[in-house]
A and B are shown apart, each in its own frame.
Chain A
Amino acid sequence: MTDAASRPVRVVLGDDHALVRKGLRSLIEACGDMAVVGEATTGAEAVEHGRLLRPDILTIDIGMPDLNGLDAIPLIRAQAPATGVVVVTGHYGPTDLRRALRFGARGYVTKSDEPEVLLLALRAVARGRYFLSPRVAHLVIEDPE
């Protein structure tokens, strides 16, 4: 990818709440280096968007109709292996984090985080890194003990 530096990071948003999608979209589009290329309102739609659009990043909520976000992660990973899945959720529990990471999420951000935390996450995952919200990172440090 010779134009990687100039090409915007392509993002698909998966959330059943319109206000959340709208908020995420304006935040992401204000950056200039990222573009929202699709929105999904169910887990199944997120899988379908992943397959058809092959975005760099797909953000996914956990509680969604049809197919929940956690169940959708392995399906997205199978359909679009190069897409980095970032969970954006109101859940901070150890079980959801554990499942999300095991099913292949590269990022985990909570809806209580500051906007700049989400942007750090999207940029890190677009670079092939992992990113965990400061609200959940203690769980991966403490759990193995």
Chain B
Amino acid sequence: MTIPGVAIVTGGAAGLGEAIAHRLADEGAAVVVADIDAAGARRVADALTQSGATAAAVPCDVTRGADVEQATQVAAGLGPIRVLVCSAAVESRQSVIECTDEEWQRVLDVDLKGPFLCMKAAIPHMVANGGGTVVAMGSTLGLIVAPGHPAYCAAKGGLVNLCKQAAIEHAGDNVRVNVVAPSATDTGLFIRFSAEAPDPEALRQRIADLNPMHRLGTAREVCDAVAFLASDAASYTSGCVIPIDGALAARRM
């Protein structure tokens, strides 16, 4: 029971967000699964409830202020909001020249404006209840770049700065804000992306071999970092980026 209170997990219907929702519930939190995939959110909330946790599903497009407000209200109805995990994101693989207006806007809206709107809605509740913590899912690609990800890199890079600002602005309110930056992980969007390759295993191994640890990260490792940051064990840690990347970013300046 290291994380009492209510946790909102955006993008909690799939991938790392789903794993994080389970982990926070295991740590004692009541979990609101907020996702644009309403059926998926329902499925995850039901599984949490079945395992004895308190959970609710909210259909929520994080780019829409009204949806985010709704999810926040549902959470506040369950008790004091202590944790916000911003995991909802979309990826795009297009060069600058190929990237359309719509694609650019969609990635910036979901991956950067989404966390902005969620923090804007949830932080005042945390302040009113004596504190809380935000964990945003960044990415190695918010720290360094790779060809073909202009919108994703820009959004994740912007997210780091946004979180540092929120951390400073609310340092006196007992609200901590941190970023977890995974590299390719065995769960979620990378696995789905690689499944489309002619030889998925070969691609996964190639990506893993770029990593000093020569393997992909695991959902458990990401959840460990999120749980640490969301708990009092991290009470003096705010405005930081924790790479969960097998030393990948260490190779870079």
Pair from one complex: no
